[in-house]
């Protein structure tokens, strides 16, 4: 049956190491549910439901030893699969945190993955294999920023045709391209999730950085701590490799309103006043911070935050600006510079790279023990 054979040999599957009887997943029980969303009527008795958030709840069979669960939120073009096993079949962060006694909630952002997208709502976009390789998995081959050549931790070549890359790229999906819409529906979904599960820690990656800020802004008392893995930034701008200076985050950290004291108007054509600060060291960018006197990030100020940045990522040069911006707004934000901590060779998807569990160990220590939360910037 040549047709079926063609399907079968398309993408190699990486099982649990060399011995299929060795489970890589920590035993857990799974349930799922949806939060948020609403019926959408076109007035013809053919209503649809939209903007709901898919949530997968994993509970360790051995029982939980931590009082608050962890909520994982993936970034652009991703889904909740990011936190399951890695593309080369090793243990991912969800299982690892279950192993350490946490209950885990994994979401698919509204309009993404198992959270349905309703045709006609905005425009969908995708990333090509070449973009994923250039920005995330094979950055050393492109050398687009000063730290890119240091990348060694992605399993495999990180380029099209490499079987591990092909597995990862197969998991990349289309996304709503209107970032204000994305931020609005994720803030609503995240708040509904916290209302349902109660106080939790949030771990958010990349494009989910602003989503984490907005969810914490809506439910500051329910976010025990937040770990931001290379959150979208830096403040006001989105510098990917284009070095674009366009203002895409008019509220500093987000495209839609955050709570400041004194308050700011929510006009999207206007942004918070900012001033430019010179780079702190070679290889780093300048930072746009609030003009003096800075307004306080009134709701975020009570939420401890850890910003984690890898050595070779396009974020290596600018994440420190996000930390400074948060600190300027009164937030207890700490910078975890993996390179400085002796963890080398990672890029933007470090939570699934070869040393992903070494990094998880440090993150867990920070979440577990508030006495270890020492400011580093
Ligand atoms: C998505 O948005 C970006 C930035 O606004 C734009 O450059 C790009 O063309 C859009 N893509 C699609 C498919 O609309
Ligand atoms: C972006 O800026 C960095 C640092 O100034 C520079 O090394 C790099 O070449 C620039 N990239 C582009 C695409 O202009
Ligand atoms: C700004 O506020 C007005 C009035 O409350 C509201 O209608 C509008 O949707 C808001 N705009 C944004 C971008 O949040
Ligand atoms: C992170 O650590 C590396 C290595 O010590 C250093 O070169 C870099 O400047 C640091 N980044 C920031 C933002 O401090």
pLDDT tens track for 242-252: 677 789 999 99
Encode burial over 17-54: b for 16+ CB neighbours within 10 A, e otherwise. eeeeeeebbbebeeeeebbbbeeeeeeeeeeeebbbbb
Give the model's confidence band at 313: pLDDT under 50 very low, under 70 low, under 90 confident, else very high.
very high
Asked if pLDDT for residue 3 goes beyond 50, the answer is: no
Confidence of residue 13 (pLDDT cuts 50, 70, 90): low
Number of residues assigned to the chain: 377
State the pLDDT at residue 353: 98
Ligand 4: which atom is nearest the Cα of residue 320? Answer: 13
Out of 95, 133, 179, 206, pick the active-site residue: 206
Q: Contact at 8 Å (CB) between 233 and 253?
A: yes
Percent share of the chain, pLDDT over 70: 91
Q: Is the CB of 241 under 6 A from ligand 2?
A: yes
The protein residue with its alpha carbon nearest to ligand 1, atom 12, reads: 125
CA 158–ligand 4 middle distance (angstroms): 24
Q: Is the predicted pLDDT of residue 16 greater than 70, yes or no?
A: no
Ligand 3: residue whose CA is nearest its atom 1: 266
> Is the peptide bond preceding residue 214 cis, with omega within 30 degrees of 0?
no
Residue 315 pLDDT > 70:
yes
What whole-number percentage of the chain has pLDDT above 90?
84
Which atom of ligand 1 is found nearest the CA of 123?
Answer: 14
Burial of 357 per CB tally in 10 Å (0-12, 13-18, 19+): middle
pLDDT at 371 over 90: no
Give the per-residue pLDDT at 1.
Answer: 37
DSSP H stretches of helix in the chain: 2-10, 93-99, 129-132, 163-170, 179-197, 208-218, 319-328, 356-368
Q: Average pLDDT, stretch 365-371?
A: 89
Q: What pLDDT, on a 0 to 100 scale, did the predictor assign at position 21?
A: 53
Q: What average pLDDT does the structure give for the chain?
A: 92
Distance 126 CA to ligand 1 centre (A): 9
- The CATH number of 3-376 is 3.40.50.1820
| Residue 265 falls in the annotated catalytic set | no
Calculate the CA 167 to chain-centre distance. Answer: 20
């Amino acid at each position: 049956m040549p047709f079926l054979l063609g399907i079968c040999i398309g993408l190699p599957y990486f099982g649990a190491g060399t011995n299929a009887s060795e489970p890589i997943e920590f035993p857990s029980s799974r349930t799922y549910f949806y939060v948020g969303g609403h019926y959408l009527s076109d007035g013809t008795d053919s209503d649809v439901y939209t903007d709901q958030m898919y949530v997968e709840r994993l509970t360790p069979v051995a029982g939980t030893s931590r009082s608050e669960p962890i909520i994982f939120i993936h970034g652009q073009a991703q889904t909740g699969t990011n936190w399951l096993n890695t593309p080369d079949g090793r243990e991912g962060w969800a299982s690892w945190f279950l192993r350490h006694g946490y209950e885990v909630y994994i979401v698919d952002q509204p309009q993404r993955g198992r959270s349905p997208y309703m045709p006609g709502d905005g425009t969908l976009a995708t990333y090509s294999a070449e973009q994923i390789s250039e920005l995330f998995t094979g950055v050393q081959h492109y050398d687009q920023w000063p730290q890119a050549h240091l990348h060694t931790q992605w399993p495999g070549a990180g380029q099209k045709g490499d079987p591990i890359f092909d597995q990862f790229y197969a998991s990349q999906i289309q996304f709503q391209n209107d970032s204000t819409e994305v931020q609005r529906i994720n803030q609503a979904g995240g708040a509904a999730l916290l209302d349902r599960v109660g106080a939790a820690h949030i771990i958010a990656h990349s494009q989910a950085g602003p989503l984490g800020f907005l969810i914490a802004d809506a439910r500051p008392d329910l976010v025990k701590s937040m770990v931001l893995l290379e959150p979208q930034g830096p403040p006001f701008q989105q510098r990917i490799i284009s070095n674009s200076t366009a203002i895409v985050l008019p509220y500093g950290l987000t495209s839609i309103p955050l709570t400041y004291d004194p308050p700011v108007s929510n006009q999207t054509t206007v942004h918070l006043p900012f001033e430019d600060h010179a780079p702190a060291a070679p290889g780093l960018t300048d930072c746009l911070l609030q003009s003096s006197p800075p307004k306080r990030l009134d709701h975020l100020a009570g939420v401890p935050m850890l910003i984690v940045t890898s050595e070779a990522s396009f974020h290596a040069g600018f994440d420190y600006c996000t930390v400074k911006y948060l600190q300027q707004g009164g937030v207890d934000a700490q910078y975890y510079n993996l390179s400085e901590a002796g963890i080398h060779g990672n890029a933007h998807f470090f939570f699934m790279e070869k040393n992903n569990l070494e990094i998880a160990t440090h993150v867990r220590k920070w979440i577990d023990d508030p006495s270890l939360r020492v400011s580093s910037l």
